[in-house]
Amino acid sequence: MKTIITNSFKETQELGFEFAQKLKGGEVIALHGDLGSGKTTFVQGLAEGLGIKQKIISPTFIIMRTYTISNPQSIRQAQDGSAIHNFYHVDLYRIEGEEDVEGLGLLDLFDDKENIVVVEWPEKIENLLPSTRVDLYFEYVGDEEREIRFT
Ligand SMILES: Nc1ncnc2c1ncn2[C@@H]1O[C@H](COP(=O)(O)OP(=O)(O)O)[C@@H](O)[C@H]1O
Ligand SMILES: [Mg+2]
């Protein structure tokens, strides 16, 4: 487990940006942590690192937002020639349980090399998420400090 302390929201965005460079396509990324621990801030950098130009806003009232990478070839190319085309930002803060995501088609997004799926509040649908996901743990340390742990 790696532990990183960031000292500003910008540093957390940068961490997300760097994290994006390692993605191959098909990853499901679970972001654990309380409100305000920096999950969405991390996603902003991650999306930028994937070549998404739109600003990432918290999809709290909308469970999922879809972002299309308009020019994936120029950004990254997986070994098998595929590329990441779609980025899905899922925020389950407001849902009660698994039944609330039934209509979303979430499961169809997993295990597809063209997709990256990021999930905030993943524990709400723990049993639906693939066991091969990437887990990151966010914690509030102080006003401008956050701790982020991942393997
Ligand atoms: N080191 C830091 N990393 C991330 N966010 C920080 C940091 N320091 C302060 N913040 C602020 O904390 C808030 C984190 O909010 P957000 O990323 O939406 O959290 P979450 O999605 O986990 O609820 C933002 O207002 C951000 O500017
Ligand atoms: Mg959030």
Q: How many domains does the chain have?
A: 1
Amino acid 145 reads E
Domain that holds residue 25: 2-150
Residue 146 beta carbon below 6 angstroms from any ligand 1 atom: yes
The CATH code of the domain that includes 33 is 3.40.50.300
Q: Specify the pTM.
A: 0.95
How far is the centre of ligand 1, averaged over its atoms, from the C-alpha of 74 (Å)? 30
How far is the centre of ligand 1, averaged over its atoms, from the C-alpha of 140 (Å)? 9
Q: 134: how many CB neighbours lie within 10 A of its CB?
A: 15
Atom of ligand 1 nearest to the CA of 91: 21
Residue 37 beta carbon below 6 angstroms from any ligand 1 atom: yes
Residue 10 beta carbon below 6 angstroms from any ligand 1 atom: no
Residues 15, 4: contact at Cβ < 8 Å?
yes
CA dist 5 → 17, 97, 138, 142, 148 (Å): 16, 31, 10, 11, 6
How far is the centre of ligand 2, averaged over its atoms, from the C-alpha of 60 (Å)? 7
Q: Which ligand is nearest to the CA of 7?
A: 1
pLDDT tens, N- to C-terminus, the chain (151 residues): 999 999 999 999 999 999 999 999 999 999 999 999 999 999 999 999 999 989 998 866 789 999 999 776 645 666 666 789 999 999 999 999 999 999 899 999 998 999 999 999 999 999 999 999 999 999 999 999 999 999 9
How far is the centre of ligand 2, averaged over its atoms, from the C-alpha of 25 (Å)? 22
Amino acid 41 reads T
